[in-house]
Amino acid sequence: MTRLQISGGAIALLGVLIFFITPYQVNSIQSGAFPRIVSLCLIVFGVLVALTTEKSEKTNDDIKLFNPLLLCYLVLVFGTTLMIRKYGFYPAIIILLPSCLVLFGERNYKTITLFTIITTGMIYLIIDVLLGSGLP
């Protein structure tokens, strides 16, 4: 299966899902008409995309979806989101910044520490002092 076929299939499936869910998520027929018409069109175009013939080409601008690095970054962003909600921005940033750098392959711990301190200080200066919007 080519990438476009998978994309087309996913788009069509999404259209089907929304088409059947919409009546349960709206107050009136008029309110649900637009999403239902759009989801019908989405099904049609999803199928058309899936039918599109595509040459299997290997480009240099592509990565594997189950790339460990990619998954690590996603987990890191998710973890940071949870941390921000639970403990606030500054503790989360202090963990996110060095973790990002280490994942990227940076091993100079002095630079990492210095960068984390300077960036966190700058954020405090810009957001809390200059804009007056205290981060939680």
Partner 1 sequence: MTELLSNVMLGMDLLLQWEVLFAAAGGVVAGLMMGAVPGLSDIIAICLMVPFTFYLNPIAGIAMLMGLSKGANFGGAIPAILFNIPGTPQAVITAFDGYPLTKQGKAGKALKVALFASCIADGISDLILIFLAAPVAMAAIMIGPAEHASVVIFALVLISITSETGPVIGLASMLFGLLLSSVGADPLSGAPRLAFGSDELSSGINIVPMALGFFVVSEIIWQICLDKKKEAERVKLQLLEDQIDPSIEQKSKKNHSLSFSEFKRCIPAIGRGTLIGSSIGALPGIGTTVGAYLSYVATKKASKHPEDFGKGSIEGIAAAEAGNNACNGPNLIPLITLGIPGNLAAALILGAFTMQGLTPGPMFMEQQAPLLYALFIVLFFSNFFTLFFGILYTKLIRKMVSLPKNYIYSAVLVFALIGTYIVHNNTFELYFTLIFSVIGLLCRKGKIPMIPLLIAYILGSSLELKIRQTLDLHAYDFSVFLTKPISCVFLSFSVVVIVYTIYKKLKSKATATE
Distance of closest approach, residue 130 Cβ to partner 1, in angstroms: 9
In the numeric block, which tokens belong to residue 5?
């076929």
Beta carbons of 50 and 8 less than 8 angstroms apart: yes
Should residue 14 be labelled a site residue for partner 1 when binding is judged by CB under 8 A? yes
Taking CB under 8 A as the rule, which mask of x and - marks residues 110-129 in contact with partner 1? Answer: -----x---x---x---x--
H/E element holding 90?
A: helix 89-104
Among 106, 113, 117, 121, binds partner 1 (CB under 8 A): 106
CA distance 84 to 111: 24
Instruction: Indicate the helix (H) or strand (E) that contains 81.
Output: helix 68-87
Residue 88, Ramachandran bin (φ over 0: left; ψ between -120 and 50: alpha; else beta): left
Residues 17-76 that bind partner 1 (CB under 8 A): 18, 21-22, 25-28, 30-32, 34-35, 38-39, 41-42, 45-46, 48-49, 52-53, 60-63, 65, 67, 69-70, 73-74
The conformation of residue 8, written as its DSSP 8-state character, comes to H
* Measured distance CA(52)–CA(65) in Å, rounded: 22
Tokens, residue 30: 């008029």
Q: Which spans of this chain sit near partner 1 (rule: CB under 8 A)?
A: 3-4, 6-8, 10-11, 14-15, 18, 21-22, 25-28, 30-32, 34-35, 38-39, 41-42, 45-46, 48-49, 52-53, 60-63, 65, 67, 69-70, 73-74, 77-78, 80-81, 84-85, 89, 93, 96-97, 100-101, 103-106, 115, 119, 123, 127, 131-133, 135-136
